[in-house]
Chains A and B, each alone.
Chain A
Amino acid sequence: MFESIIAGAELLGRVDIFLMIGFGLLLGMFVGAMPGLTTLMALSILLPVSFFLDPLIGIPFLIGVYKGGMYGGSIPAILLAIPGTASALVTTFDGPSLTRKGHARKGLEMALVASVIGDFCSDVFTLLLIIPIAFIALLIGPPELTAVLILSLIVIATSGRGDFVKSLLMLVVGLMLAVFGQHASTGIVRYDFGWFDLRAGVPLLPMLIGLIAIPEILLLVENRERQVAPKTLKLREGERLNWPDLRRCLRTIFRSTGIGTVIGMIPGVGQVVSAILSYAAAKSASKHPETFGQGELEGVAASEAGNNSVNGPTLVPLLTLGIPGDVATAVLLGAFVAQGLRPGPQLMVDQGPLVFAILLAMVAANVLFLVLGYLTIPFFAKVVSLPKSYLLPLTVVFAFAGSFAFRANPIDLAVVVGFGLVGYLLRKADFDVAPLIMAFVLGPELERAIGTTVDLAEGNIVGYLIFERPIAVALLVVTPFISWWLIDRRRKLTQRLDMLAGSSAGVGRLKEGGAME
């Protein structure tokens, strides 16, 4: 494995890799800074771009978009009290007060520095953690994988926005959609209903774009009359971030990084939860908790370090077990698969240098993140007021171009429109599509694992599992208990958010964001 790390480092001696990461960071910051546009939308639309690039360029490019988006959401959160991304919700507790006091620039710089430190530390941790977990993952067989997949899917459903049963329904619908088309092992076509185009199954990318990007556009269009930001928004310079300010917040930043790193490794939990827990921990540990919510710089630091430090560790279950931690990593999974790389235990063995090169690029990208973020703060402060009349149509055209580029099949455009309508209706009915997407991505793997387990059991599934695969049984037994604990914890988190925000508006925004970002 260590030889793979060194070989991976040697692969990184190329300028184009870092140019594309920088481009991805800027795009992500741009999307994150626009209220209503989501990082997920950007990832799904830009995913086909990565298909035609070298994996060492395409995948870090998408990771750059992801990182940039997480930070970009803090810009309107601080300037306008509108989170650009769901994960920046908690930043609105203190950011706008800083702006009112004339310290907008300081707040934005703290958000940037906290994001970079959180991201960098968690990326290094990810790099170190992946090695032992990859070794453990190699010992996992089909029964254990089945149990882990079932547990992951249930955890994802419990973390979804809204009611658990509704998320569970989305999950099983996603599993069913993954069944359509050709069965991987036997080649038998299932549920094509006489349509030739359905024989290859439901295409992932157009479905993603339809379920994620199109509803976001339609939801923004609903409120067409409302001007989200004033036509001109000047960033009053005010004070800049200085070393004493940063030093005072360092403990909070590192604490939040620790929280985010742990949460990042758990599938389905996400940046919003990390930001809330980090903020709550910072407030509890502070000698002046009464200043939180009144423009406390530590509040911004806690939230941003907490949400950005989730980014790296979400790759741990993805790369070692092939289980995406959230929808964004599900999109990254699509990028890996399109490049012929199947994440899972075997990937680290077969393509070790490439995987470590991608991870090392991710660590190095944080330096670019800091420099680009610092230089572009004034620019992105203006971006928040770009007219939607230009941005939304541009997004539509890009979405369609990307969908067509996937496999040059015009039917994919109809898939985008169809799933766009479904996605919009589900959003309006308060169903979270994240479990649907995750189940769609993991469904084939789950069926394969179950099938192989049944083969190995040779007709005696119960005896085989109990006497030869006790770990799988243990995982299956604890799944309902873990689910119950997560549902209860989510309910308590919502109450805590209420308490922190002091208003029901915060709770509504949490319910909007859920596990989507």
Chain B
Amino acid sequence: MGGELQLDGKTRHFVTSDRLFAILAIVAGSYLLVVSEQQIDKPMAVLGATAEAMSPRTYPRLIAALIVVVGAILLWRSLKLPDTSQWSQVTAGGYRYVALSFLIMAVYSQLVMPIGFVVASAIVLLVLNTLYGNRNFVLGALFAVFVPLAIFNLFRNLMAVPLPEQEFLPRLVFM
């Protein structure tokens, strides 16, 4: 993945995905153990006894400890395991598409409430459709307009689930 080192005539990577995730697991597990007292209240005790024999803190602490232990085992094994990650299998251009797609989805998640599902989805469909290679812009525009309307009405009329509506356009509900 990164950080190449020449050792005994071989190229070894000392920064691998497995090691990074293992370290992350050890840090996260340790953090959850340390803050458990603060993040989990003690159950109410009546006459010195609680309703349950196992405190609500016990199980989370056990799992957090397991995360640390398994993380440590993975860190140790990563010294022997081959790097099976797939980072290098994709070109820089491919990652650009991924990053753009992810950014668009993140923006979409924030736009749905203020401007409504239909308008937000229309914008996202048009942008992604073009990004993913469509050059028939008329068909793309029709796709971007009618699909969100169809989904909006499907959810509202068939499933009685209201998706966020746009306030500045006429109601686009077809009964």
Binding site for B on A (CB under 8 A): 48-49, 52-53, 162-163, 165-166, 168-169, 172-173, 175-176, 179, 183, 185-186, 188-193, 214, 217-218, 221-225, 387-390, 392-394, 396-398, 400-401, 404-405, 408, 410, 413-414, 416-417, 420-421, 424, 427-431, 447, 450-451, 454-455, 457-459, 511
Let me know if B77 and A165 touch, CB within 8 A: yes
Q: Which residue of A lies closest to B107 (CB)?
A: A417
Taking A173-B25, A186-B43, A455-B52 as known contacts, 13 extra A-B pairs with beta carbons closer than 8 A to each other, sorted by chain A number, are A169-B74, A186-B52, A190-B39, A218-B102, A388-B132, A390-B129, A393-B128, A397-B151, A400-B108, A410-B112, A428-B85, A428-B87, A429-B87
CB distance from A401 to the nearest CB of B (A): 6
Which residue among A172, A191, A217, A224 has the maximum number of chain B CB atoms within 10 Å of its CB? A172
What 0/1 pattern do residues 137 to 175 of B give for CB contact below 8 A with A?
A: 000000100011001000100011111100000000000
CB distance from A210 to the nearest CB of B (A): 10
Q: Which residues of A contact B121 (CB under 8 A)?
A: 397, 400-401
Given contacts A397-B148, A401-B151, contact A172 B40 (CB under 8 A): no
Q: Which residue of B lies closest to A194 (CB)?
A: B39
Inter-chain CA distance A57–B25, complex, in Å, is: 42
6 example contacts (A-B, Cβ-Cβ < 8 A) are as follows A163-B77, A169-B21, A224-B133, A390-B129, A455-B53, A455-B54
Q: Which residue of B lies closest to A429 (CB)?
A: B17
Q: Which residues of A contact B54 (CB under 8 A)?
A: 450-451, 454-455
Let me know if A221 and B98 touch, CB within 8 A: yes
Q: Which residues of B contact A394 (CB under 8 A)?
A: 125, 147
Q: Which residues of B contact A450 (CB under 8 A)?
A: 54, 59
In-complex Cβ contact of A188 among B56, B124, B164 (8 A): B56
Q: Which residues of A contact B15 (CB under 8 A)?
A: none
CB distance from A376 to the nearest CB of B (A): 22
Let me know if A224 and B151 touch, CB within 8 A: no
Q: Which residues of A contact B109 (CB under 8 A)?
A: 400, 410, 413-414, 416-417
Q: Which residue of A lies closest to B161 (CB)?
A: A405
What 0/1 pattern do residues 23 to 57 of B give for CB contact below 8 A with A?
A: 00100000010010001110100000001111010
Inter-chain CA distance A451–B81, complex, in Å, is: 37
Let me know if A169 and B67 touch, CB within 8 A: yes
Q: Is B84 an interface residue (CB 8 A)?
A: yes
In-complex Cβ contact of B60 among A179, A218, A221 (8 A): A179
Let me know if B86 and A396 touch, CB within 8 A: no
Let me know if A389 and B40 touch, CB within 8 A: no
Let me know if B60 and A176 touch, CB within 8 A: yes
Q: Is B95 an interface residue (CB 8 A)?
A: yes
Which residue among B109, B113, B128 has the maximum number of chain A CB atoms within 10 Å of its CB? B109
Where chain A touches its partner, the secondary structure class is helix
CB distance from B154 to the nearest CB of A (A): 9
Q: Which residue of A lies closest to B16 (CB)?
A: A429
Inter-chain CA distance A97–B63, complex, in Å, is: 50
Given contacts A165-B74, A166-B74, A224-B94, contact A396 B40 (CB under 8 A): no
Inter-chain CA distance A517–B46, complex, in Å, is: 49
Given contacts A192-B39, A429-B85, contact A393 B124 (CB under 8 A): yes
Let me know if A162 and B39 touch, CB within 8 A: no
Given contacts A166-B18, A185-B52, contact A396 B124 (CB under 8 A): yes
Q: Kindly list the 5 A-B residue pairs having the minimum CB-CB distance in the complex, ordered from nearest.
A: A429-B17, A413-B109, A393-B128, A389-B132, A389-B134
Let me know if B86 and A430 touch, CB within 8 A: yes
Given contacts A176-B67, A389-B134, A459-B53, contact A191 B40 (CB under 8 A): yes
Q: Is B7 an interface residue (CB 8 A)?
A: no
CB distance from A198 to the nearest CB of B (A): 11
Inter-chain CA distance A447–B63, complex, in Å, is: 10
CB distance from A73 to the nearest CB of B (A): 22
Q: Which residues of A contact B147 (CB under 8 A)?
A: 394, 397
Which residue among A397, A421, A458 has the maximum number of chain B CB atoms within 10 Å of its CB? A397
Given contacts A52-B160, A454-B54, contact A222 B94 (CB under 8 A): yes
Let me know if B106 and A417 touch, CB within 8 A: yes
